[in-house]
């Protein structure tokens, strides 16, 4: 079979092919062509050079040991650069490099009245910025062109820790003893004016729910000012919440007469105590570990008077639920 000539192909194309295409298809082809043209124009424009202002946050690093940065004249920097549109687009909208690091390790200080001052010149700032911009640019200008600093000496102080801990306990479980925190004091390093305001260091707020056993947690300490202005050693504390399962126990106890050595008669002379007792210690607890006293509410010689029942002593880790009865009758002068 002979190859078709160009004239043969043209003869086979209907002359009214445009008319046979639906309007919607013709519009679609038109818009696709427009879109392709726009994209090509956009990329051509990006190959050209532009001058643009880029804004950066300033991060001051390598602060000399024993000093704290208490003032800087600027925290933002504007850099005007000339570069290709592609590079500027990447830096402005895509790159995450939005912080410029300023190294303070080799700045020269001036000392006076326990304060230290320093500054960076425009040429030094330009060199630092040029080293951190990772594509070819021409720096037109940098604002600010000079940065001033003020430093103060760091002091140390030993300060107590205050817990901000909330918890709930599972059913039948109670706090067995005081919550333990270790260490109770930490070393705080900061400038003296800050240390003078600190009475305690509070932990981060934490909450523990449904505790049913003794647990120990590492709890971070809260910083209310910049981390570069204050440091803790350590910066976390160990918190132990002692929890035990408790059971209800009843004890029938003799009532002693308190605050009076004369012969007397108490009615009744025994009371019933209902207590919550750690389950693991129930077998070790007996009546001899309690002291119950009757305390006078009023004094009327020769007449019966009401006295309040007071539990003067209980074993450790035991919770009192109720006393029955809460009052007893006291009659003086009888045996």
The predicted-structure confidence for 308-317, as pLDDT tens digits, reads as follows 899 999 999 9
pLDDT band at 274 (very low <50, low <70, confident <90, very high): very high
Largest CA-CA distance found in the chain, in angstroms, rounded:
144
Q: What is the dihedral of CA 257, 261, 264, 267, to 10 degrees?
A: 0
Average pLDDT, stretch 99-120? 79
Question: Is a pLDDT exceeding 50 seen at residue 111?
Answer: yes
Asked if residues 148 and 108 have their Cβ atoms less than 8 Å apart, the reply is no
Higher pLDDT, 160 or 17: 160
The overall pTM is greater than 0.75? no
pLDDT over 80 (residue 21)? no
Report the pLDDT value the prediction gives residue 243, as an integer from 0 to 100: 95
Percent of the chain with pLDDT over 90: 37
Pairing of strands 243-254, 215-220: unpaired
Whether 107 has a pLDDT exceeding 60, the answer reads yes
Least confident span in 135-139, 153-157, 221-225? 135-139
Output Rg (C-alpha) for the chain, integer angstroms. 42
Residue 186 tokens, joined: 């930490």
pLDDT tier at 89 (50, 70, 90 boundaries)? low
Statement: residue 205 has pLDDT above 80: yes
The 10 Å Cβ neighbour count of residue 79 is 22
Mean pLDDT in residue range 240-268: 82
Residue 31 tokens, joined? 């818009």
Asked if pLDDT for residue 9 goes beyond 60, the answer is no
Give the model's pLDDT for residue 263: 43
What's the pLDDT score for residue 228?
Answer: 76
Calculate what percentage of the chain has a pLDDT beyond 70: 79
Q: How does residue 1 score in pLDDT terms, banded at 50, 70 and 90?
A: very low
Which region among 29-33, 101-105, 247-251 has the lowest average model confidence (pLDDT)?
Answer: 29-33
For residues 113-132, average pLDDT: 79
Mean pLDDT, all residues of the chain = 81
The residue among 328 and 1 whose pLDDT is bigger is 328
Tell me: pLDDT of 256 over 60: yes
Burial 295-324 (b: 16+ CB within 10 A, else e): eeeeeeeeeeeebebebeebeebbeeeebe
Where does the pLDDT of residue 252 fall: very low under 50, low under 70, confident under 90, or very high at 90 and above? very high
pLDDT band (50, 70, 90) for residue 99: confident
């Amino acid at each position: 079979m002979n190859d078709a000539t160009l004239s043969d192909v043209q003869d086979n194309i209907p002359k009214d092919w445009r008319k046979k295409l639906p309007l919607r298809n013709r519009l679609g082809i038109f818009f696709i062509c427009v879109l392709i043209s726009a994209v090509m124009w956009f990329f051509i424009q990006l190959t050209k050079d532009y001058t643009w202002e880029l804004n950066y946050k300033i991060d001051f690093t390598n602060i000399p040991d024993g000093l704290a940065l208490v003032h800087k004249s600027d925290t933002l920097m504007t850099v005007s650069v000339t570069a290709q549109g592609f590079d500027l687009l990447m830096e402005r909208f895509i790159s995450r490099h939005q912080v410029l690091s300023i190294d303070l390790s080799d700045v020269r200080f001036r000392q006076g009245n326990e304060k230290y001052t320093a500054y960076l010149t425009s040429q030094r700032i330009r060199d630092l910025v040029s080293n951190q911009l990772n594509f070819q640019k021409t720096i037109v200008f940098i604002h600010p062109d000079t940065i001033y600093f003020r430093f103060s000496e760091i002091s140390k102080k030993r300060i107590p820790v205050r817990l901000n801990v909330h918890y709930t306990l599972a059913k039948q479980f109670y706090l067995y003893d005081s919550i333990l925190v270790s260490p109770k004091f930490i070393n705080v390093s900061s400038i003296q004016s800050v240390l003078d305001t600190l009475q305690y260091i509070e932990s981060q707020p934490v909450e523990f729910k449904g505790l049913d056993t003794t647990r120990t947690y590492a709890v971070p300490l809260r910083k209310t000012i910049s981390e570069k202005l204050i440091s803790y050693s350590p910066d976390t504390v160990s918190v132990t919440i002692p929890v035990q399962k408790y059971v209800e126990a009843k004890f029938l106890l003799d009532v002693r007469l308190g605050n009076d050595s004369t012969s007397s008669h108490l009615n009744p002379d025994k009371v019933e105590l209902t207590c919550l007792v750690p389950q693991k210690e129930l077998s070790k607890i007996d009546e001899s570990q309690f002291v119950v006293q009757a305390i006078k509410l009023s004094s009327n010689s020769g007449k019966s008077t009401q006295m309040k029942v007071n539990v003067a002593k209980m074993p450790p880790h035991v919770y009192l639920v109720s006393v029955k009865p809460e009052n007893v009758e006291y009659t003086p002068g009888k045996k």
